[in-house]
Every structure is written in C-alpha cells, then in structure tokens.
C-alpha cells in the first residue's frame, strides 16, 4: 500500500517541477536593483545575463535626427529625447555614471551575451515618428544579425501591427495595453499579450485561452512574491519583474549568493 501511494505521489511532484520550469524570467529594464547598476544601462543588461534571466527588457526612442536611444521615459534630465538631436543626448549620464546608450551600443553589448533582448517601442508623439523608430530599429537589428535574439513589445496597437508586418516571419511581437482579448490578438498576428497583472486577474481565463490558441503570455511588472507564485501556478509563460532573483528562485533556478541578499 505504501509503495502504491509513493508511485502516485511522484508524478504530481514531477508535474509541479515541470510547470514551474515553464515560467521564464524577464528582468524589467535589466537587473538594475543591485549595486552599481541602473535602469536600461549596459550594466543592467550584463547582470540580467549573469544571473541567467531568459530576457532583459529595455525601451527605445528615436531622436529628431534619427538616432535610436535606450531609455524608458520620454524626458531625461529636462531633455525630450524625440525632439532633441543626438548631440544633445549623447552625454546624458545614468545614475550609475554610464552614458545613456544608443541602441547600436546596447545591441553590440547584447550580441556577446545569451539573454533574449526584449525591446519596447515607446509610443511616440506621432505615428510618423513611431514608424521611423520602428524602421530604424528593424534596420539596425538586421544589420547586426540579431533578428533571432529580439522580442518586440509595444503599447501602441499601430506599432504592434507594423512590427508584425515588417519584422521577419516568426519574430515574437507582444501587445502591452491590455484591452484586447486573446482572439483579437490572434487575429492581428500577435504572439500574445504582455499585460499588467491586474488585467490577467480581471480575466483569469485569458492565460488558458491564449495557450489553447497557440499564443504565449507575459505579465508585468510583478514584484511581490505572492503574485509571482500566483502566475507561476497559472502557467504564465513569462514574468517581467524588478525582482528577477526572486522569480528565478521560485522557478527552481540557482542564483549566485551575492545577488540573493
């Protein structure tokens, strides 16, 4: 009898391990919440790679004269990135002392690493400016032969549709805004939703529906352990977080002790 119970228990234990392993970790703006790092910095990108995150998320804007820059906010130190020239932004420094990276410099650093590059096209002041940012980004990614290393995300549905159309076939493109159902995302050729955790909690059926439709699911920005555990249990494909070490540990990954404090 004891042996039969043991045999029955083992498959469930193994199943639980598999489910946890399916959820991958994406460092939000890189692994910046640690000494010497900063959001969207080259350091945060390298650290996300060092702790073996699946992906490192970052954001891009295009300057008035066509240089694609890596930064989250539209303004930095009183400079509006998309209305400034490259000369006006090239010496802006991040909180860790690094200069704000160009996309070219960021991709050059990423090419030497294993981490997937999760590139967010920010919503620009006009469709024309946004399209210019997308086209310049796609051109640079192609030139650097990194097309299989880039995943695209955007809040703008126009940006998503352009990326689906213009990026190489098979490129993953996710929508961030949260109002479209899995069926609607499937219809426009989107890889799946990359929605805020509150959207999924309001529509708990969407993760399962996405998987039934062959879509993938990402959730942002999950920083509380109990929320991470909830989404891992629900079978989310990716968790985007400012606390990547916590997600990695919850999904059975070993992290260097120096990052675990």
The CATH homologous superfamily for domain 24-253 is Phosphatidylinositol (PI) phosphodiesterase (3.20.20.190)
Q: What is the pLDDT of residues 131-145, one digit of tens each?
A: 999 999 999 999 999
**pTM value?**
0.92
Q: Are strands 68-70 and 173-175 parallel, antiparallel or unpaired?
A: unpaired
The tokens describing 40, both together, are 């969207």
Q: What is the pLDDT of residues 36-95, one digit of tens each?
A: 999 999 999 999 999 999 999 999 999 999 999 999 999 999 999 999 999 999 999 999
What's phi and psi for 114, nearest 5 deg? -105, -20
Read off the pLDDT of each residue in 221-227 and give the average, rounded to a whole number.
98
Domain spans in the chain, listed from the N-terminal domain onward = 24-253
What local confidence, expressed as pLDDT, does residue 19 receive? 41
What local confidence, expressed as pLDDT, does residue 17 receive? 40
- The rounded percent of the chain whose pLDDT value lies above 90 is 90
Rounded distance, CA 112 to CA 109, Å? 6
The secondary structure of residue 186, as a DSSP letter, is H
- The rounded percent of the chain whose pLDDT value lies above 70 is 92
Q: What is the pLDDT of residues 148-170, one digit of tens each?
A: 999 999 999 999 999 999 999 99
- pLDDT above 50 for 10: no
Please tell me the least confidently modeled range out of 17-31, 192-206, 224-238, 245-259: 17-31
Rounded distance, CA 132 to CA 222, Å? 31
Residue 69, judged by CB atoms within 10 A of its CB (0-12, 13-18, 19+), counts as buried
What local confidence, expressed as pLDDT, does residue 20 receive? 44
- 40 close to 69: Cβ distance less than 8 angstroms: no
CA distances to 10, 120, 149, 155, 169 from 163, in Å: 45, 11, 15, 12, 10
Confidence of residue 11 (pLDDT cuts 50, 70, 90): very low
- pLDDT above 90 for 176: yes
- 91 close to 151: Cβ distance less than 8 angstroms: no
Helix axis angle, 42-50 to 103-111, nearest 10°: 20
- pLDDT above 80 for 219: yes
Question: What SS3 state is found at 239?
Answer: strand
Rounded distance, CA 111 to CA 256, Å? 23
Q: What is the DSSP string of 6-37?
A: HHHHHHHHHHHHHHHHH-EEEETTSS-SSTT-
What local confidence, expressed as pLDDT, does residue 261 receive? 63
Read off the pLDDT of each residue in 213-222 and give the average, rounded to a whole number.
98
Confidence of residue 260 (pLDDT cuts 50, 70, 90): confident
Read off the pLDDT of each residue in 229-250 and give the average, rounded to a whole number.
98
Confidence of residue 239 (pLDDT cuts 50, 70, 90): very high
């Amino acid at each position: 009898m004891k042996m039969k119970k043991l045999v029955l228990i083992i498959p469930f234990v193994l199943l639980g391990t598999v489910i946890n392993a399916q959820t991958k970790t994406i460092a939000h703006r890189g692994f910046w919440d640690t000494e010497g790092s900063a959001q969207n910095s080259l350091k945060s990108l390298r650290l996300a790679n060092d702790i073996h995150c699946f992906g490192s998320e970052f954001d891009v804007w295009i300057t008035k004269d066509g240089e694609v820059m890596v930064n989250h906010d539209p303004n930095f130190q009183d400079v509006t990135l998309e209305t400034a020239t490259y000369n006006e932004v090239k010496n802006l420094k991040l909180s860790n002392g690094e200069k704000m990276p160009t996309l070219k410099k960021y991709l050059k650093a990423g090419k030497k690493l294993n981490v997937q590059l999760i590139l967010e096209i920010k919503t620009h002041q006009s469709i024309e400016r946004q399209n210019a940012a997308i086209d310049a980004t796609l051109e640079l990614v192609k030139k650097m032969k990194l097309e299989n290393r880039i995943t695209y995300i955007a809040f703008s549905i126009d940006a998503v549709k352009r990326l689906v159309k213009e990026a190489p076939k098979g490129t993953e493109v996710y929508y961030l805004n949260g109002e479209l159902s899995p069926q609607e995302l499937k219809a426009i050729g989107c890889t799946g939703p990359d929605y805020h955790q509150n959207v999924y909690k309001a529509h708990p059926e969407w993760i399962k529906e996405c998987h039934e439709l062959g879509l993938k699911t990402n959730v942002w920005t999950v920083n509380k352990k109990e929320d991470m555990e909830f989404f891992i249990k629900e079978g989310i494909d990716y968790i985007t977080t400012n606390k990547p070490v916590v997600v990695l540990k919850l999904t059975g990954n070993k992290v260097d002790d120096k990052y675990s404090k």
